[in-house]
Structures are given as C-alpha cells and as structure tokens.
Amino acid sequence: MKIGKALTFTCFFLVTITSAFATIPTFFFDNQEGFVNADQCSISQIESQRFRISTYTGKLQGAKLENLRNHKGIKQSHLVNGSLVKLIEGKSKRDYKKTEIVGINQGVEVQKNRWFSERLDRGYLYYRSLLPAEDYVLKIEKGTENYSLGDIKSTVEGLYLRLAMDDHFFKLNCPLFGNREYVIFKIYEKYGIKPLALVGMYWDESKIFKYISSMTKYEGVKILPNLLSEEYLGDDMRLTKFDSRIDDSSSVAIENDINQEAISTNIGIDNVVCVSTEHLNVRNTKLDKVVFTAKLGEKIKVFQGWGEHTQSKLINGEQHIFRKVQFSERESEDQVIGWIASAFIKTKEKCKYINLRPKGDIDQISETTITGLDDPNCCEFPTVKRPSHRYDSGMRRFDAGRSGGKRLHAACDLYRYKDEPILSVAPGKIIRNRYYFYQGTYALEVKHSGGFVVRYGELDKKAISGMSKGKELKMGERIGYMGKVNSDCCRPMLHFELFDGSKTGSLSQSGNRYQRRSDLINPTTYLLKWENENF
C-alpha cells in the first residue's frame, strides 16, 4: 500500500492543523515516496532535535575539514565543514558525540580522496564541532532525485530548507508512524518572502539531504530577504498540544543528559546532598510540591529500583531523573522521606561544593580562596548546564557585529531555557541594584573576589528577594533567572559581560565600538575553561 493512500484511511481521527496554519501546505518526507501530503496530521512542540551542522574546532586557521573519529579517538575520515549530521546513540565518550552523516556540504571546494566521509558514515565528533542546525539554511543541490511538492513545485532542486522554531522545535504527529520524530522544516524558493511549505523530516528518512550546501542564516538573508523576520512560526499556528512525553528515541535522552549516573547512583554507599546553594527542595511522590528542604552535605540513603523509587519529570524544557531518598539522621518523621533530582546526589568525595568548604564547617563557604580570574579555584559556570548553543561563534560571540557593524557585541550570549537559574561565578558583592536592561529584560552588576566585574544581563523579570546593592554573594549562588527579549529575535539567554575592574564608573560608556567601559575583556576563554571544569 502506498504511504499517501494509507494516510487517507488512517488519519481521519486526528486533530487537524488549524485553518490559520493550513494556508501553508504541509508534507512529511519518505525516502521511497518523497513528499507526502500531511495536512491531516497535528503539530506539537518538542524541546530538542537531532540535526547538527559540522565545523572544524582547533588551532588551524581556515581549515575546511573536521575529523570523524572512532570510540578510541582514532581518526576515521575527513568531514567537510557545513555538512549535516545527526546525533545517534553510542558509547559514552567525554566531550564527544556519536553522529551519523546525513549530507555532505557540496558548497566547500576540497580535493576529496578515499579518506573523506560519506553520507551514512558513523563516528564521533568533538561537541564544539557540532553547531545548531537552526542557525543554518540548507540548499538542495543538483543530483537530488526528482522529488516534487505536488502542485506547488515539480522539482525541489534549488529550494532552501530551514528548521522551524519558536523557543522550541516542532514535529508532526501522525498515528501511522507512532512516535517517529518528524521535525518540521520550512521550504523556501529563491528570493521568496514566505515559505512555500512545511515538511516533517524524520532523522532516519533523510535522503533529500544527500546533495546539499549549507550557509548561515545571515548569509541566507541575501537569498531569502525575509528570513530573519520569518524566524518564528508565531501566529501562523495554534498548537494542538505540548508534547512532553518521554520518547526513548528522542534527542532529549541523547543530548540533554538525563543523568545516566542517576540510574547507577551508588546504593548502600554514603551519599550526600550536593548542590551549589545552601539548600535543596525536596518534593513529594508526585513531584508537584515541595515538602521540605535539605542542606548541602546532608547524608541521604537512596532507595533502589526504577518506577517505584525512580521517576522522571520535564522541568524547564529538560528531562530530569528523580530518586526517592531517606534522610536517616533526621528526627522529624514528616521530613525523612522525599524525592530529589539525581543530579544532586553524590558521594561526599565527589561533591565539589563540599570540597570548597573548610573541614568541619559545612555551612560556610571559604570566601578567601578566589583571588581573581586566573585563580585555579575560579569559577562556577553561570548557567546550570552547558549552553545549548556555542557562544564562541555566530552572533552569540564576543566581538560580533551589531547595528550593521556600527558597534560590537560586548558579551557572550549563553543560550539555555527560560526561567532557569543564573549563578554567581565567584564570591562577590552586588555593586548595582537590578535594573532594566534591554527589551523587557534586566541586569545585575557584581564585583567578584579579585576585583573583576560581571554584568549578568537579559535576566527575567522574576527577581530573587534580597538581591540588592551591597549583598555578599557566594560562588554558585542563585542571583536571577534566564530571560527572553520581547522582540522574539532570539532564544532565552544570559548576556555575560566581563570587566577586569581596573576602571570605575558606569559599565555602559560611549567612545568605543563596544559602547562599554574601557576595562571590558573578552570572556570567551574563561567561560570555556569554567564550562569544561564544571560539566
């Protein structure tokens, strides 16, 4: 039976795409059938997806290739920069991700030989060599099979594809395919103002990408002039539901680290509460209510077993594993049993936050150990997990052009999820009260131990009580929450500015292209160091 015909008889009971959205034709792609009409399928949000763009990471200037490696780190083949890959499951390898090549970038001129990577090759790429696919536009090149978009276009050669997103990605829901993750792309014609169609792409049905070339979205604006203003689906669509189900095949389980050590937490070994702040919330069995708090370093016993004693919950866009624990040294019966996230369960020896404290004084952080940015003990990373996007490339990097090149970006933008905690990178003191910063977001200025100053920008309007001028901060203390600008130009982020502290006065000043005080420094090297040490 043809897939298109099967859809006619099996999708009649679905909640269909709304009329407002139905003005954009919708398809899914199948390797054998090509583009199949999907207007009877529904659409939902997802937090993550598998597609990435490859690049070179290293000291060689102008390199056009990255190396695909095996699990032992031995080079297997050369992969052209700008190629499309997908994340797949594989043996854990520190700082490397297991990938499969989806399409080789045809837009880079290199003299290929038998050592070059080909489509469907598998291997490991360094995680910094994997760029967000949503930052790129893919052009379907010559050599692609003669697929058609029905009445819209007889051939897709020369068309452009871009991931559709609005804080989240989107996927098609068609019961015929169960939990297959058909991530939605927009399809454009050259110089097109609006997308011709939407297409759901399953990461294992990706033959359409065999012959592609890639370009950044900022290069793509020259070909698709309305590209950046079309960055979000916005009012074109009313979602049928938010898909928060756990799908073992989804990239959430692969990329966002649902904490595999949680499943192997040492049962019977003395574990403690390991958290960057002084206290941790303990939840009830349904995980929907805080029943009491636990202290950093407090001893716990972990119950064994999945299901009855282990469960997962989606919080702020990420899947977390929770374990049932017992606070055996407590006397109050109503504060003995509870649930905490497994990321905060460590042995005492492995808890870096306890190791920061003097022996015998678990409630006090040693504030004298940080002497400055180059101190070996400096610093905590300001977000709770690795940023979802690289901050040393694209418009997120320090020094990137702004206002048509009239000024330069004075920070690194660390992308994560809205309302996630922002942490103080080191001990310090607030030197300026929280204030309005940019497009509905706020900022806080802190002078840290050793004299360096950080402006934590684009914080959410939700404030933390007591964060006012003169407050002493501990390293890793929660100082605010990640916000999102109201122009919808970009994803939620922390705008991280760093100053060496040798000057005084307002951090925002005229007289240079950064429009900042003259002791501004590039935070990238420090952030990369802290990221590697903390994650």
Please tell me the predicted confidence (pLDDT) of residue 92. 78
For residue 6, pLDDT over 70 is answered with no
Considering its fold, how many domains does the chain have in total?
A: 3
Question: Each residue of 178-205: pLDDT tens digit?
Answer: 778 899 999 999 998 889 999 999 988 8
- Mean residue pLDDT of the chain comes to 81
Q: What percent of the chain has pLDDT over 90?
A: 43
Please tell me the predicted confidence (pLDDT) of residue 147. 92
Please tell me the predicted confidence (pLDDT) of residue 388. 86
Question: Each residue of 22-59: pLDDT tens digit?
Answer: 478 999 999 888 999 997 888 988 888 999 999 998 88
Within-domain flag for 112: yes
Mark whether 314 and 284 lie in a shared domain: yes
Q: Select the more confidently predicted residue: 278 or 122.
A: 122
Among 72-76, 300-304, 306-310, 316-320, top mean pLDDT goes to: 300-304
The structure tokens listed for 10 are: 């099996």
Average confidence (pLDDT) over 455-462: 95
Q: 209 is in which domain, residue-wise?
A: 1-20+45-159+191-255
Q: Select the more confidently predicted residue: 222 or 305.
A: 222
Cβ contacts of 10-13, under 8 Å, gap ≥ 24:
10/175, 10/176, 11/40, 11/41, 11/174, 11/175, 11/176, 12/40, 13/175
Q: CB neighbours (10 Å) of residue 216?
A: 16
For residue 10, pLDDT over 80 is answered with no
In what helix (H) or strand (E) does residue 242 lie, and over which residues does it extend? strand 241-242
Mark whether 140 and 203 lie in a shared domain: yes
Please tell me the predicted confidence (pLDDT) of residue 355. 55
SS3 category, 298: coil
Q: String of b and e for 486-496 (b: at least 16 CB within 10 Å)?
A: eeeebbbbbbb
pTM: 0.60
**How far, in Å, CA of 421 to CA of 318, rounded?**
13
**How far, in Å, CA of 466 to CA of 142, rounded?**
61
**How far, in Å, CA of 324 to CA of 304, rounded?**
8
Question: Each residue of 368-427: pLDDT tens digit?
Answer: 468 899 988 889 899 988 898 899 988 999 999 887 778 899 999 999 888 888 999 999
The structure tokens listed for 182 are: 């058909």
Mark whether 251 and 338 lie in a shared domain: no
As to burial, measured by CB atoms within 10 angstroms (0-12 exposed, 13-18 middle, 19+ buried), residue 157 is middle
Mark whether 409 and 316 lie in a shared domain: no
Mark whether 118 and 210 lie in a shared domain: yes
Please tell me the predicted confidence (pLDDT) of residue 441. 95
The structure tokens listed for 409 are: 């970006």
For strands 279-283 and 211-216, give the pairing: unpaired
Q: Select the more confidently predicted residue: 482 or 73.
A: 482
Please tell me the predicted confidence (pLDDT) of residue 253. 33
Q: E strands within 342-474?
A: 345-347, 401-402, 407-408, 412-415, 421-423, 428-438, 441-448, 453-459, 472-473
Task: Specify the CATH number for the domain of residue 511.
Answer: 2.70.70.10
Average confidence (pLDDT) over 241-256: 31
Mark whether 446 and 324 lie in a shared domain: no
Mark whether 306 and 248 lie in a shared domain: no
Q: What is the CA radius of gyration of the chain?
A: 25
Please tell me the predicted confidence (pLDDT) of residue 160. 96
Please tell me the predicted confidence (pLDDT) of residue 206. 92
Rounded to the nearest 5°, which phi and psi values hold at 156? -100, 0
Within-domain flag for 367: no
